[in-house]
Structure 1
Amino acid sequence: MRPKVTVAGGAGNVGATVGQYLVVQELADVVLIDILESVQHGRGLDLLQTGPILGSDSRVIGTKDYRDSANSDIVVVTAGITRKPGMSRDDLLHTNARIVGEVIEQVVAHSPNCILIIVSNPLDAMTQLALKRSGFARERVIGMAGVLDAARFRTFIAQELQVSVENVHACVLGGHGDAMIPLPRFSTVAGIPITELLPPDRIEALVKRTAGGGGEILALLGTGSAYYAPGASVVEMVGAILKDKKKILPCCVYLEGEYGIHGLCVGVPVKLGAGGIEQIIEIRLTPDETAALNRSAAAVKELVDILKL
C-alpha cells in the first residue's frame, strides 16, 4: 500500500504543484483539500488522468471533506492567502493564523499520527502555531523554508560559476524571508567552499539576491507568487521522510536550546527520516553568524508574541 499524503490548500498553485510532483514520482496517494467550490475536485481529477501517461498508479482525489484525508502519513499545509505586491510576510500573519489553526484542528482529528509540513506564510510563525495547536512532538512539525532558500542560493551560485547545480550545495539558516542567513563558507561546489571560488562582492550579491528571491519572483509575476520551486522543495522533504533517507536538509524546527535559541521555530540543518526530524545538526558559527541568527530569531519572536504562542 502506498503512503498517503494530504495537501491542505490543494487548489492553490503551491498545493497543486506538490500534488503533481508526488504523482510524477509515484511517492504516495494524494488528497487535495481546499474550501474553493469544486476547484480541488477538478485539479484532483485532472491530475489523476495524468497517471496513464506518466505510468503512475498514485490515486488522487480532490475534496472539501477532511474525512477523506483520514490516516494520512504526511499532511502538507499550504492553505492561506498569498502575498501581493507591496505586502510583507508579516501582513499575512493574522489571516493565515486563523486559516492554519482551523486546518490543524481538522488534521489532528483525522490524522493524529501524521507528520506535518508547513508551507503557509509567515512560515516560521505558522510552524510554531501548528506545533502548539497540534500538540505533536516537535519532530513531527516541520517548516519548509530552508530547502527553498538553499535551492535559490544553489541556482545563483551555479549560474555565476557556470557549473552544474548538482555540484552545488548551500547552507541557509534562520527565518524565511529577509532575515534568512545564507552561509557562504558552508556552501560548496564539488566540495570547494564558494569563498575560494568567488570574490566577496559577488558572494554578497548572491546572498542578497537569495534573501530577496521570493520578492523578485513576485515582482516579475505581478500577481501570485512562486510555486514550482516551493512545490519541489516540499516533495524533496516528503521523499526524505517516506523513503527514510536520513537526508540532511535546512528546515524550520522548534529549538530547545540548540544554537542558544529556546522556544522558537527557526531554520537549521536537520536529518529527515521516517520519524520526521531525527537529528538537529549544530554547526559552529562565527560571532557574526551567531549575531545574524539571533536577529533572525528575534524577528520570529515578534510574530510569535503577537500571536501569543
Structure 2
Amino acid sequence: MNNHSKIVVIGSGAVGSTFAYTVLLKGLANELVIIDKNRDKAEGDALDLNHGLLLAQPMKIYAGDYPDCKNADIIVITAGAAQRPGETRLDLLQRNVSIFQEIFSEVMKYNQEAIFLIAANPVDILTYVSIKLSNLPKERIIGSGTLLDSARFRYLISEKMNIDPRSVHGMIIGEHGDSEVPVWSLLNIAGINQEKADAASRCYLSTEDKEKIYQQTKNAAYQIIEKKGATYYAIALSLARICEAVLGDQKSILPVSAYLSNYKGIDDVVLGIPSVVGRNGIEEVLDIPLSEKEEKLLKQSADQLKRFIAQITLPSEK
C-alpha cells in the first residue's frame, strides 16, 4: 500500500455507506471522502463514522464534492437509481446511464489517474459506459462483476456439503444478473474436481443439486430485495476486497467486470471474468478453460448485454 492512500465513494446510499463503514473497519485507506447529491446524508455518514475512529483505525473521513476526487487512488461509484422489487438489473439501464454521464463529466475535471470501481447496476453495462464516458485505459475501469455472485455460489455449495465456504473453489462468470454462468467444470474442493467426484463422496452434487444452487445464486438479490429492500452488506465486502487487491498490488485473481476483446470470440463488451487485479487495475484477463456448454452460455450472456448496449445513446453518439 502507498504511504498515503485515498478512496472516494460517490453515492452514500445503502451500498455506499456500508462500503464506507467496511473501509473504516478494515483500515483500507488513510483518507476517505464521501460524495452524495444529498449533502446532509454524506455529512451524517462522515460524522457517524468519525465517532468510531477511537474504536477502529486512524483515518481522515469527510463529506466532500467532486474537487475532492483529486489525488484519489480509487474512486468507487455506487450512485444510481435503486433497483425496485420485481425489477431486473437491466431495467435500470437507461435511468443509470444518465446519472453516470453527470458523474463522469464532473470527476474527469479533477482526476484522470485513479482506478475507477463501478458498483451500480446493471454493473457490466455501466462499466462499459464508464469506459466510453471517461476515455481512460480500459484496465483502469473495474466493475464488481461476478465476485458477489461467486461468493453466493460458494456459500450455497458449502451449505449443501457442510464445509467452510473458503474451502470451495468455484465461480460464476458472465453477466452479474440473469444470464450469469456457473462454471461447474472447474469447481473443486481441496483439489477434488466436483464433476469427477463419486456419488458417495461428500463433494458430490447431483444434477438437481446443481440446478437448485444455480437458481438460488441467480435469484439471491431478488430474494433479499423482496425481504428488506436492498442488498448491501455482501457487495460492500466485495468492493472492499477489490480495493485491497488494488491498493496492496496483490495481483489477486478476482471475477470482476472486465472489457473483453477477442476473448473466446467475444468482443467489445464487459463481463465478469477471472482477472489479475493489482495497482494498475485489471492487469490480465485470464483465458480459463470452459466446457463447450459453458462457453456457449458465456457467448449468449455477452450477446444479451450487447443488445442492451446497442440501445444506449452516449453523448459522443448524439
Counterpart of 1:34 in structure 2 is 36
- In structure 2, C-alpha distance between the alignment counterparts of 1:127 and 1:296, rounded to whole Å: 16
Shift of 1:190: 2.2
Counterpart of 2:220 in structure 1 is 213
Counterpart of 1:266 in structure 2 is 271
Shift of 1:69: 2.2
- In structure 2, C-alpha distance between the alignment counterparts of 1:163 and 1:185, rounded to whole Å: 20
Counterparts of 1:83-122 in structure 2, within 5 Å, are: 83-122=83-122
Matched, 1:13 2:14: yes
SS state of the match for residue 80, structure 1? Answer: coil
Shift of 1:204: 1.6
What is the one-letter code of the residue matched to 2:242? M
Matched, 1:277 2:279: no
SS state of the match for residue 290, structure 1? Answer: helix
Point out the more displaced range, 87-96 or 142-151.
87-96
Counterparts of 1:216-255 in structure 2, within 5 Å, are: 216-221=223-228, 223=229, 225-255=230-260
Any idea what the Cα deviations from partners look like across 1:80-112, whole Å, max 9, x if unmatched? 011111212122111110111211222221111
What is the one-letter code of the residue matched to 2:58? D
Q: Percent identity?
A: 32
- In structure 1, C-alpha distance between the alignment counterparts of 2:268 and 2:158, rounded to whole Å: 36
Shift of 1:33: 0.5
Structure 2: gaps of 5 or more residues:
198-203
- In structure 2, C-alpha distance between the alignment counterparts of 1:168 and 1:51, rounded to whole Å: 35
What is the one-letter code of the residue matched to 1:62? A
How many residue pairs align between the two structures?
Answer: 304
RMSD: 1.2
- In structure 2, C-alpha distance between the alignment counterparts of 1:207 and 1:244, rounded to whole Å: 32
Counterpart of 2:60 in structure 1 is 59
Counterpart of 1:135 in structure 2 is 135
What is the TM-score of this pair, normalised by structure 2? 0.93
What is the one-letter code of the residue matched to 2:208? D
Structure 1: gaps of 5 or more residues:
none
SS state of the match for residue 307, structure 1? Answer: coil
Any idea what the Cα deviations from partners look like across 1:242-263, whole Å, max 9, x if unmatched? 0011100101111111121111
Shift of 1:308: 3.8
Shift of 1:169: 2.0
Matched, 1:300 2:305: yes
- In the alignment, is the contact (CA less than 8 A) between 1:184 and 1:193 conserved in 2? no
Matched, 1:4 2:6: yes
Q: Flag as ranges the 4+ runs of structure 1 deviating above 3 A.
A: none
- In structure 1, C-alpha distance between the alignment counterparts of 2:16 and 2:186, rounded to whole Å: 31
- In the alignment, is the contact (CA less than 8 A) between 2:256 and 2:272 conserved in 1? yes
Counterpart of 2:49 in structure 1 is 47
What is the TM-score of this pair, normalised by structure 1? 0.95
- In structure 1, C-alpha distance between the alignment counterparts of 2:80 and 2:257, rounded to whole Å: 18
- In the alignment, is the contact (CA less than 8 A) between 1:7 and 1:15 conserved in 2? yes
Counterpart of 1:190 in structure 2 is 190
- In the alignment, is the contact (CA less than 8 A) between 1:18 and 1:231 conserved in 2? yes
Shift of 1:192: 2.1
Shift of 1:270: 0.2
Counterpart of 1:158 in structure 2 is 158
What is the one-letter code of the residue matched to 1:121? N
